[in-house]
Structure 1
Amino acid sequence: MRSQLLWLGPSAMLVASLVLSQPAVAQPTDNLLGATVDDLLAAAHQLSPNLRAATLDTAAMAAKAEGAGKLDDPTISDSYQYYKDPGVFSAHTVMMSQAFPLWGKRSLRREAALADVDATRGQERAAQDELDEKIKVAYAQYFLINQSLKINHEIFELASHLREAATVRFKSARGDQSAIIQAMGEETAAKLEAVRLQGDLGAARANINALVGRAGNAPLADPVKLRATPGAALVVSTLVERAHAGNPNLSASDAAVAAAKTRSKLANKAWYPDLTVSAGPIIQTNNMPVGFAATLGFNIPVPWGREASGQHEAAAQLGASEQRFNAALFEIEGALGESVAKLQAARSAAQLLRHETVPQAKAMFQTVLADYSQGKADLTATIAAQRQIHDVELRLLQNQLDEQVELAAIERLTGGDL
């Protein structure tokens, strides 16, 4: 084999080394953001407007909860009594009234408000997990495009050297001009593919910057490596248990159920009367000493439909909250099963490609290249073998992307990194 490659000269040796070598991993040359996904996630947690908005929503709900158990504002009223009888003096009665909810209604209102805070906090965590998933997938796509560009560059270099080899054979009367034209066509195709990939790379950068919360044209470092996938096989039942404890959407739904239960109790207590206390001075028009008046009042819950409709509303909202929790639980369990199956399939396919298909494609190329060097094969077979290696490497990258996509989905569903 070595003598056959030497027959083609240094260019053929370079062709073989380009094809048979693995793509090199890019190393960061500066401190630009984007070399690793962890840097992007940390930046997004600080810069993302969506996360800041979710944090402010939680703060607003917490502030609302602070006043949920407070008393309503007092009311001041002035009652004037006028008498025509000169023996009876008119008077102003100034009263301050304060309503006092009884039967634990204030504590129930505060309990429901705190449950709302928990639900909003769960939504805030869910927003962060969803953003993390998008960034993880976007980074994996960014890495895939970057590696595809490197493979495309190798293909272009290979086509260039094949064109040089075909030219040498043509000049020595061992080949025809069509082989040169065919090699030039491969060079042009590689150039066109490079233009497309550069466009995809720019779009990927803009997408990542938008997710992080930066300007779309902000510079990004070349991606260094993909996130490591779990070495052991993932068990769906274990992940489901983890999701029960850590999924923020489930936490938010559970808190919504708790809030609805508390409001249902509160609606049932609407039939219980509340107390209103009023007190104030009596000021007579004859400048006599100021008197004092005090009253106690209770509202009368009459069956005119308002309390009953409130009970029906609270019961319906509780049922809806419970159904939404069950729906979220089933959806998470189904999504986990689907993602685990896809992750395992992508992992198995990547292993087959890496350990069987890639070596076979490289061995085929070596054989075809040796035949071409001896004049036993034409350039078409050599280019076909080269394309096969190219396709296999791209399929391997696509499987790595599939693994990253499913891993990000599983981590979002379980509420944390694996």
Structure 2
Amino acid sequence: MVITTALVRRRLGPALIVALSVFAAGPAPADPGAPGAGVAGLIEHARRNSPMYALERAEADAARGRADAAGALPDPTFQLELMDFTNAMRGGSASLLPGQVGETRYRITQPLPGWGKRELASQAAGALAARADANRDVAWLNLEADIKAAWLRHYAADREAGLARNALVLMQGLEETALARYRAGLLPQAAVLRAQREITVQRVALVAVEQRRQGAMAALNALLARAADAPLAAPGELSPLPPVPEFAALAERARGFSPALAAETHGMEAARLERERTWRERYPDFAVGLTNNRPRGGEQSWDVMFEVMIPLQQPARRAREREALSMEAAADARRAAAEAKLMGELGRAHAAFASGRDTVRLLRGTLLPQAEATRDATRAAFANGRVDFDSALEAERQITDTRMALLQAEVDTRMALADIEKLAGDIR
């Protein structure tokens, strides 16, 4: 009696058989002309086309425009005054036409803020514009880190699919060896059936891996503002990992690099300037005016006007001063909280990167060669009948699990590296 995979297939539903046949054949070929082979091209594509980044750039430009206008003088006002428009003193009829009344007055008035108020308003608006620029940089770094993470998930799914297909080929070779020994009466039927079951399990795993790969491609395309099913090139190989930097030097670098910390620093400066400007409201504002008087039938004359605002509303002013003080304290606390958060995230990423780098080194340099040597020795011994089928199957599983663990460790380490680069810049 010859055992084939038909025995297992008869126990599966038709829909699952179709899915297994499609995904076991491998994914559709990647488009070599599409982006996605490396993360650098994807980041440049996002810089040009991302609507979220375009939004942040537009808001930063708007804040810069507000800063340019903040220190300007208020617009002057023009007044037209018609004296004795009823013409009662001249015994005529009423009129609203200049020159047809008792006297026409033309007045231009220019408000003048108190000393230093315009400069403080301009400086505060400039600090807010700088904070908007920093927030734009924060948004870009977050988008860049998200793209790196999505590309790494795409890379992991692509490589996992390759490992799963290789494992399937190994299982099929093991099945052929088991069938040959079964025909020779050297292996029981249960061992062949188990080999065929493992092959089917591997094909089912390929379905799940392909689904994850398609999901990773859709998520990456979404970050790039592309259609979910837009083609992506197969991810290329990873560059070597950089050495682990000292945390103290990395923390000092992050304090100078982090745009999130810079945004809070600019916000703190804006709050301080706003508090100073509020205190300047204790002093009056001014206005100057020039009036041209034109009496009907008489000689025109000129008047000069000087106006002073009297700061009498002390309760409201004191309330605004208390608000400004509280806003300044809140900005200081927000900056301190941002620095504490930065150091916490940097410490977590640094620890994950250091441990992940060691894990990758041990897996690639020690455990993987050991698993490959064990697998080769076990397969040779199984072909010669010196070990049973379970030992051969376990050796194949160990090599597959080790390769999967190495892939996951590489991806996790690269994720931690991406977090460090987001917080402290490129450390290569």
TM-score (normalizing by structure 1): 0.89
> Which residues of 2 match residues 281-300 of structure 1 at below 5 A?
281-284=292-295, 286-300=296-310
Q: Distance in 2 between matches of 1:227 and 1:320?
A: 43
Structure 1 residue 207, shift from structure 2 partner:
1.0
Structure 1 residue 85, shift from structure 2 partner:
5.1
Q: CA RMSD in A?
A: 1.9
Q: Distance in 2 between matches of 1:159 and 1:86?
A: 117
Return the letter of the residue paired with 1:104: G
Counterpart among 396, 399, 405 of residue 395 in structure 1:
405
1:56 corresponding residue in structure 2:
58
2:353 corresponding residue in structure 1:
343
1:201 corresponding residue in structure 2:
213
> Which residues of 2 match residues 7-406 of structure 1 at below 5 A?
30-82=32-84, 90-231=102-243, 233-284=244-295, 286-406=296-416
Structure 1 residue 43, shift from structure 2 partner:
1.1
Contact 2:353 / 2:413 at 8 angstroms: preserved in 1? yes
Q: Distance in 2 between matches of 1:417 and 1:91?
A: 78
Structure 1 residue 278, shift from structure 2 partner:
1.6
Q: Distance in 1 between matches of 2:63 and 2:256?
A: 23
Structure 1 residue 416, shift from structure 2 partner:
4.2
Q: Percent identity?
A: 28
Q: Distance in 1 between matches of 2:426 and 2:165?
A: 38
Contact 1:246 / 1:416 at 8 angstroms: preserved in 2? no
Return the letter of the residue paired with 1:408: A
Contact 2:31 / 2:231 at 8 angstroms: preserved in 1? no
**Residue 236 to residue 371, structure 1, CA distance change in 2 (3 Å):** same
Unaligned runs of 5+ in 1: 1-26
Q: Distance in 2 between matches of 1:386 and 1:261?
A: 67
Q: Distance in 1 between matches of 2:344 and 2:239?
A: 24
Contact 1:28 / 1:224 at 8 angstroms: preserved in 2? no
Q: Distance in 2 between matches of 1:65 and 1:352?
A: 55
Q: Distance in 2 between matches of 1:161 and 1:240?
A: 53
Structure 1 residue 255, shift from structure 2 partner:
0.9
Contact 1:155 / 1:390 at 8 angstroms: preserved in 2? yes
Contact 1:244 / 1:250 at 8 angstroms: preserved in 2? yes
Structure 1 residue 417, shift from structure 2 partner:
5.1
Q: How many residues align?
A: 389
Q: Distance in 2 between matches of 1:119 and 1:399?
A: 37
Q: Distance in 1 between matches of 2:338 and 2:238?
A: 30
SS of the equivalent of 1:189 reads helix
Q: Distance in 2 between matches of 1:174 and 1:263?
A: 89
Contact 2:294 / 2:301 at 8 angstroms: preserved in 1? yes
- After superposing the two structures, state which structure 1 stretch, 89-98 or 258-267, moved more: 89-98
Contact 1:47 / 1:213 at 8 angstroms: preserved in 2? yes
Superimposed CA distance per residue, residues 31-63 of structure 1 (whole angstroms, 9 cap, x where no aligned partner): 321001111111111111111111111111111
Structure 1 residue 84, shift from structure 2 partner:
5.0
SS of the equivalent of 2:143 reads helix
Q: Distance in 2 between matches of 1:115 and 1:372?
A: 74
Structure 1 residue 76, shift from structure 2 partner:
1.9
Return the letter of the residue paired with 2:38: T
Superimposed CA distance per residue, residues 84-137 of structure 1 (whole angstroms, 9 cap, x where no aligned partner): 5559x8323232211011211111111111111110000111111111111111
Q: Distance in 2 between matches of 1:417 and 1:96?
A: 62
SS of the equivalent of 1:67 reads helix
Superimposed CA distance per residue, residues 287-343 of structure 1 (whole angstroms, 9 cap, x where no aligned partner): 323332321101011143222122112111111111111111111112111111111
Superimposed CA distance per residue, residues 207-263 of structure 1 (whole angstroms, 9 cap, x where no aligned partner): 1111122222111000012243212x3211101111111110111111111111111
Structure 1 residue 364, shift from structure 2 partner:
2.2
SS of the equivalent of 1:271 reads coil
Unaligned runs of 5+ in 2: 1-28, 92-100
Q: Distance in 2 between matches of 1:28 and 1:70?
A: 58
**Residue 227 to residue 112, structure 1, CA distance change in 2 (3 Å):** farther
Contact 2:31 / 2:232 at 8 angstroms: preserved in 1? no
Contact 1:78 / 1:95 at 8 angstroms: preserved in 2? yes
- After superposing the two structures, state which structure 1 stretch, 71-80 or 323-332, moved more: 71-80
SS of the equivalent of 2:281 reads helix
2:421 corresponding residue in structure 1:
411
**Residue 355 to residue 417, structure 1, CA distance change in 2 (3 Å):** closer
Contact 1:227 / 1:404 at 8 angstroms: preserved in 2? no
Return the letter of the residue paired with 2:171: A
Contact 1:93 / 1:280 at 8 angstroms: preserved in 2? yes
TM-score (normalizing by structure 2): 0.87
Contact 1:97 / 1:277 at 8 angstroms: preserved in 2? yes
Contact 1:248 / 1:415 at 8 angstroms: preserved in 2? no
Q: Distance in 2 between matches of 1:402 and 1:179?
A: 37
Q: Distance in 1 between matches of 2:238 and 2:50?
A: 22
Q: Distance in 2 between matches of 1:415 and 1:248?
A: 10
